[in-house]
A and B are shown apart, each in its own frame.
Chain A
Amino acid sequence: MKLLTHNMLSSKCLKNVNVGYPLSIKVEEMITSVVDFNPEFIARIIPKLEWNALKQAVNEVGKDSCLPNNLIENFENDEDFLKKVHHVLLEIEIVNGCLVCPETGRSFPINNGIPNMLLNEDEV
């Protein structure tokens, strides 16, 4: 599971959960892979991100991202910045671990790189 995916997931669908975001990450196994850098794609994906959640995720997995506290202006033309975002979004992969709902503590396992967001019937 890439950190891009983490940025999109929430536990809001759980009963009695208001925000359910961001999920905290517990890492058991993590790898860093090499993904081709596509600046247009990264520039297009940045407006869809919750920046603070990304910052928090990078901290939680124990990586130093050198990401600024706030999204910079004119990021489209800043290749250095786009490369950093590319790395944290696409190249850090959680293989095993879990995601934890910030409100209920409900844990969603990540096995073999795939987060399991499936809920039991009585949880919806």
Chain B
Amino acid sequence: MKLKHLEYHLSNVSPFEKPKILLEQYVTPPHIAAYMLHHIQFEHGDITDKIVADLGCGTGCLTIGTATLDASMVYGFEIDSDALDIFQENMQQFELTNIEAIRCDILNIPRRFENFFDTVIMNPPFGTKHNAGIDMEFLKIGMLLSKKAIYSLHKSSTRKFVKKFVENLGCKVEIVAELKYNLPSTYKFHKKDSVDIEVDLVRVLI
């Protein structure tokens, strides 16, 4: 599947209705999601026929993209029931049978899922508001769940920190791409209509 087709496909995934600041809910824009998934599959072959987890799946943009690229099975983990309601609607609209969703705290994922997945993908909360460090917690959990690779988005400004964090846990890390994340004004405290945030697509190898 071509990148632009995937992007078009993912533009039909409904986003959050009322994003929650406490959970730092920002939708993954279709072009970022499409680029990320396209890269993961066509550079590394880590989606098709693989068992994949999407941590903090929100309304399911990355999950649905992963299923569309023929993962054997993809699990979306999400804490927020409103997001999961939309996730469920999205899933039905796309008529995919290789998706499962579980409502739980990412920090408390059932232990039998450790080493269950070939690939873990995520667009974690950036950990900038009330939950500093949450992005690193997500990454750490990803490293427990995956047998092979983790793909995650992090603010480029935290690159050094992310690298050191992963290396200290004994894994290899590479920055695969720098992306511009155009965040449309989501919350009332946002003063501009939109703002560009530079993010790294990070690949961690177990």
**A9 pairs with B110, CB closer than 8 A:** yes
Which residues from A are CB-within-8-Å of B97?
Answer: 33-36, 90
Partner of B100, one of A5, A38, A112, A124: A5
Which residues from B are CB-within-8-Å of A5?
Answer: 75, 100, 102
Which residues from A are CB-within-8-Å of B88?
Answer: 112-114
Whether a CB of chain B sits under 8 angstroms from the CB of A71 is: no
Q: How many A-B residue pairs have C-beta atoms within 8 angstroms? Tell me.
A: 68
Which residues from B are CB-within-8-Å of A8?
Answer: 110, 112-113, 116
Interface residues on B, range: 20 to 34
Which residues from B are CB-within-8-Å of A117?
Answer: 102-104, 108, 110
Partner of A114, one of B73, B101, B111, B112: B101
**B100 pairs with A1, CB closer than 8 A:** yes
**A114 pairs with B103, CB closer than 8 A:** yes
Whether a CB of chain A sits under 8 angstroms from the CB of B72 is: yes
CB interface residues, B 29-73, toward A, < 8 Å? 49, 51, 72-73
Which residues from A are CB-within-8-Å of B104?
Answer: 116-118
CB interface residues, B 116-154, toward A, < 8 Å? 116
Whether a CB of chain A sits under 8 angstroms from the CB of B183 is: no
Partner of A40, one of B49, B73, B100: B49
Interface residues on A, range: 20 to 34
Bits for A88-124, please: 1 = Cβ < 8 Å to B, else 0. Answer: 0010000000000000000000001111111100001
Q: How many Å lie between the Cα of A21 and that of B113 in the bound state?
A: 14
Which residues from A are CB-within-8-Å of B175?
Answer: none
Whether a CB of chain A sits under 8 angstroms from the CB of B6 is: no
**A41 pairs with B110, CB closer than 8 A:** no
Given contacts A112-B88, A114-B88, A114-B102, contact A41 B112 (CB under 8 A): no
Looking across the interface, which residue of chain A has its beta carbon closest to that of B77? Answer: A117
**B49 pairs with A41, CB closer than 8 A:** yes
Which residues from A are CB-within-8-Å of B111?
Answer: 10, 12-13
**B103 pairs with A116, CB closer than 8 A:** yes
Q: How many Å lie between the Cα of A113 and that of B110 in the bound state?
A: 18
Whether a CB of chain A sits under 8 angstroms from the CB of B162 is: no
Whether a CB of chain B sits under 8 angstroms from the CB of A48 is: yes
Bits for A1-27, please: 1 = Cβ < 8 Å to B, else 0. Answer: 110110111101100000001000000
Please give the residue numbers on chain B whose beta carbons come within 8 Å of chain A beta carbons, in ascending order: 49, 51, 72-73, 75, 79, 81, 84-85, 88, 97-98, 100-105, 108, 110-113, 116
24 examples of A-B residue contacts, CB within 8 angstroms: A2-B100, A4-B73, A4-B100, A5-B75, A5-B102, A7-B112, A8-B110, A8-B116, A9-B102, A13-B108, A13-B110, A33-B97, A36-B97, A38-B49, A38-B72, A41-B73, A45-B51, A90-B97, A112-B85, A114-B101, A115-B102, A116-B81, A116-B103, A118-B105
